[in-house]
Amino acid sequence: MNYNRNRHQKTAGVIRYSCGILFMLFTFCYLFFIQGEILAEAQHVYSNGITQYSILIGAIIIAFVLQILQWLVSLASRLPARFHALTYVPSSMVLAIISSVNKDVMVSFSFGAWLWIMPLVLAVYAITVILIKNLFDESQDYFKGLKNLLYTNYIILLALILGAGSIPQTSDVYHYELKTERLLLERDYEAACRVGEKSLRSSVRLTQLRMYALAQQGLLPERIFEYPQYYGAQGLFDIADSASSHRFDSKFIFYMLGARCHSSVATTDRYFELLLADSLWNQTTADYYLCSLLLENRMKEFHEKLPLYYNLSDTVVSPYDSLPKAYREALLVMADADSAYVGKLYFHGDSVATLSDTAMVSSYREYCGMKTGVPDVLERVNKAHRIFGKTFWWYHDYSDIAIGEIKKRRKK
């Protein structure tokens, strides 16, 4: 008798502890690596910025609380060892509710379908527990072997984990936004620039966050076209400052540029006009302005304004070669075609300078050859993007086509 009791206790202990460890590992990893940024944003929104959420501590606390909930359910239900994993149903449902927080819920809080799903699941669960206890003899479970009991429990636990993990419907771009936002607040600008850097998908907000990260490192005009630019000058900042519910909003960008945008200022052009006419502007402000002209393909204005913010006089040695990458690429686009092939910057018949960056000049020749060498438009756009997608040249010639294709896919 004592031998069988000890054997039963050991078997039950292996099942309990193994299921507990697996569930806590999943919960922690899920909340820390996948849902952490969303929960941090949600706490900021719901507390009006008064409290902050620690992704690490929050994941640990929630994992332990859910495990305690399972322990209470296990004590109350006393299910046979074969169905022990069913005691994780309430914990899995709470985890699913927590992870169902998304952008829409944060804008307008609502439990949504959970108001009827939760009572229904709990009612079905209570009936299932009663039926199992009445139909199955727990004493017979221990003669089936530990392996068979573990398999049954692991299958149930896997189903619960998959169910909880399949609830969120948040896009990868939104995850990129939140992670970039957190890294900016931590002032880790290099890491912020690496978030989702290989993805061609983006959003207005994600683009603004990335441009801010580049600007803080003094790299905005150097690397601006390394990222998808689908929104023109709007991808630099939000003139209306409408994202005030976020942890990082446009006021951070305005402070960096020199002055916050007044509500009476309706356009980006007007904001730059007022700011650049004052003594508050800095080099970052000038680069934001010049980049906004490039993003809008306002090449004539760019050519006129560039000398106002960069010393291009003959007193400086090779002034054009010291310009940031995007500006040099723009000057090649504007120059007379034949002259640009050899690095000569001719504008309206006037010789300005010669670029000594032979690698860039050679790439520009190759790019121009590709434009005329591929007759099909979409094939040319895609081929040019694979090789020159991180240059102003590609943006200048093909961004409208690419944006049009993206809009068509979204409509579908």
Q: pLDDT (tens digit, 9 = 90+) per residue, 226-268? A: 999 999 999 999 887 655 678 888 889 999 998 888 777 888 8
pLDDT digits (tens, 9 = 90+) for 306-351: 999 999 887 778 888 899 999 999 999 988 878 888 888 876 556 6
| Model pLDDT, residue 253 | 93
pLDDT digits (tens, 9 = 90+) for 111-158: 778 889 899 999 999 999 999 988 886 665 555 567 778 898 999 999
Q: 3: pLDDT confidence band, cut at 50, 70 and 90? A: very low
pLDDT digits (tens, 9 = 90+) for 341-396: 888 887 655 667 888 888 999 999 999 888 887 888 888 888 899 999 999 999 99
Residue 344, strand partner residues: 354
Residue 5 has pLDDT above 60, yes or no: no
Residue 347, strand partner residues: 350
pLDDT digits (tens, 9 = 90+) for 163-222: 998 876 678 899 999 999 999 999 999 999 999 999 989 999 999 999 999 999 999 999
| Model pLDDT, residue 105 | 67
Q: Is 347 helix (H, G, I), strand (E, B) or coil?
A: strand
**Interval 280-298 mean pLDDT:** 94
Rounded mean pLDDT of the chain? 87
Q: 402: pLDDT confidence band, cut at 50, 70 and 90? A: low
| Model pLDDT, residue 382 | 87
Whole-Å CA distances, 330 to 17, 76, 283, 357 = 64, 71, 19, 14
